[in-house]
C-alpha cells in the first residue's frame, strides 16, 4: 500500500509539471527572436544542433549569447563590431567536441551626422588635461559592465522602446563634432522633455550607475549571457546597482547631462562586448 501511494504521488507530480509546461512553455524555450542581420553593428544569428545541456559558442575569444530554440536546435547570437571588415568569418561551438560554423559579414554604409557644440559644451570636443585625467579613470569603470557575462538569461521576447520620443540620432552614424571626426554613434537617441520617464526595455539587473564625463548620468543593465544595455544623459537615476528591474519599470528620467546638445535619451546595447543596433532587439531591423 505504501509503495502504491508513493507511485501515485510521483505520477501526480509528473502530471503537474507537464501541465505547467503546457501553460508556460517559455520556462524551457525562453529566447529572444532576433533576425539575422550580418552587417557591422548588426547581429549574426548562427543556428546549430546540439544534445548538450549547455553548449558554448565563441567569436575569437569572446563568449557569445547562446539560446535554445527547441529540442536540439540552438542559436548563437553574435554582435558584429562596427569596424569589422566584410567577408567570411566563423564561430566556434563547444559541447562534446569543438566545431566551427561559417557565416559572412556583408557591407553596409552608415550616414553622417554633423553636430555643433557651443559655450561650455565645447569641452566635450577638445577636453583639457584635467578632463582627460577624468576620462581615463572612467574608461576603466565603464569597460567592466560591457565585459559582464552572466550565465543566466534574464530576458525573453522582444525588447520595447525605453521612451516614446522621436528618434533624433540613428545607430551607426559617422559623427563630426564642430567639424572634427569622432567615433560612430553607438546607440539610438530619443527626444524628450527633461523628467520624461525612462523604462526598462526588458528584464534585467542594474550593474552600474553613476555620473561620467561624456555619458553624464548613466545606468547599465545586464540582461544575461553578455547582453548589456546602457541609458545615458539622464537627469535622475531611480535605481541602484544589484536591483532587478522588470520590462516597463521606470529606471530614471530624460536629461541633458554629459555630451548632449539638448534633453534626450541615448540608448545603447552591447552583445559580446560589441555595440549593436537596439532596433534589432525590437524586431524593427
Q: CA 227 to CA 147: how far, in whole Å?
A: 10
Q: State whether residue 55 is helix, strand or coil.
A: coil
Q: CA 61 to CA 272: how far, in whole Å?
A: 10
- Cell numbers describing residue 2: 505504501
97, 110, 220 from 174: Cα distances, Å = 42, 7, 24
Task: Name the residue with cell 546549430.
Answer: 48
What percent of the chain is modeled with pLDDT above 90? Answer: 67
Choosing among 1.10.357.10, 3.30.1330.10, 2.60.40.1590, 3.40.50.1220, the CATH entry for 23-105 is 2.60.40.1590
Write out the residue limits of the CATH 2.60.40.1590 domain(s) in the chain: 23-105
pLDDT in tens, the chain (285 residues): 544 444 544 445 434 433 333 333 333 346 899 999 999 999 999 999 999 999 999 999 999 999 999 999 999 999 999 989 999 999 999 999 999 999 999 999 888 777 777 776 777 777 888 888 888 888 888 989 999 999 999 999 999 999 998 999 889 887 677 776 667 888 999 999 999 999 999 999 999 999 999 899 999 999 999 999 999 999 999 999 999 999 999 999 999 999 888 899 999 999 999 999 999 999 986
pLDDT at 5 (0 to 100) = 47
User: Phi then psi for 5, rounded to 5 degrees?
Assistant: -65, -40
Write out the residue limits of the CATH 2.70.70.10 domain(s) in the chain: 112-281
Give domain 112-281's CATH superfamily: Glucose Permease (Domain IIA) (2.70.70.10)
How do residues 166-176 score in pLDDT, each as one tens digit?
999 889 887 67
Q: What is the DSSP letter of 282?
A: T
How do residues 211-264 score in pLDDT, each as one tens digit?
999 899 999 999 999 999 999 999 999 999 999 999 999 999 999 999 888 899
Amino acid at each position: 500500500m505504501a509503495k502504491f501511494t508513493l507511485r501515485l504521488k510521483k505520477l501526480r507530480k509528473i502530471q503537474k509539471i507537464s501541465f505547467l509546461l503546457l501553460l508556460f512553455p517559455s520556462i524551457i524555450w525562453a529566447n529572444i527572436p532576433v533576425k539575422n542581420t550580418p552587417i557591422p553593428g548588426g547581429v549574426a544569428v548562427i543556428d546549430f544542433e546540439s544534445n548538450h545541456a549547455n553548449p558554448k559558442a565563441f567569436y575569437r575569444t569572446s563568449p557569445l549569447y547562446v539560446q535554445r530554440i527547441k529540442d536540439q536546435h540552438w542559436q548563437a547570437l553574435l554582435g558584429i563590431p562596427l569596424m569589422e571588415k566584410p567577408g567570411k568569418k566563423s564561430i566556434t561551438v563547444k559541447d562534446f567536441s569543438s566545431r566551427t560554423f561559417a557565416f559572412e559579414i556583408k557591407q553596409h554604409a552608415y550616414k553622417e551626422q554633423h553636430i555643433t557644440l557651443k559655450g561650455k559644451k565645447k569641452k566635450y570636443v577638445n577636453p583639457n588635461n584635467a578632463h582627460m585625467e577624468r576620462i581615463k579613470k572612467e574608461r576603466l569603470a565603464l569597460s567592466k559592465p560591457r565585459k559582464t557575462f552572466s550565465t543566466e538569461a534574464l530576458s525573453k521576447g522582444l525588447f520595447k522602446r525605453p521612451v516614446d520620443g522621436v528618434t533624433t540620432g540613428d545607430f551607426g552614424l559617422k559623427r563630426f563634432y564642430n567639424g572634427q571626426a569622432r567615433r560612430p554613434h553607438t546607440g539610438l537617441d530619443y527626444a524628450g522633455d527633461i523628467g520624461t520617464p525612462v523604462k526598462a526595455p526588458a528584464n534585467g539587473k542594474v550593474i552600474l550607475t553613476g555620473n561620467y564625463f561624456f555619458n553624464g548620468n548613466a545606468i547599465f543593465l545586464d540582461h544575461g549571457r553578455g547582453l548589456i544595455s546602457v541609458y545615458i544623459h539622464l537627469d535622475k537615476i531611480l535605481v541602484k546597482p544589484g536591483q532587478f528591474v522588470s520590462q516597463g519599470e521606470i529606471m530614471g528620467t530624460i536629461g541633458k547631462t554629459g555630451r548632449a546638445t539638448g534633453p534626450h535619451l541615448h540608448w545603447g546595447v552591447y552583445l559580446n562586448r560589441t555595440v549593436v543596433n537596439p532596433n534589432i532587439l525590437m524586431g524593427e531591423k
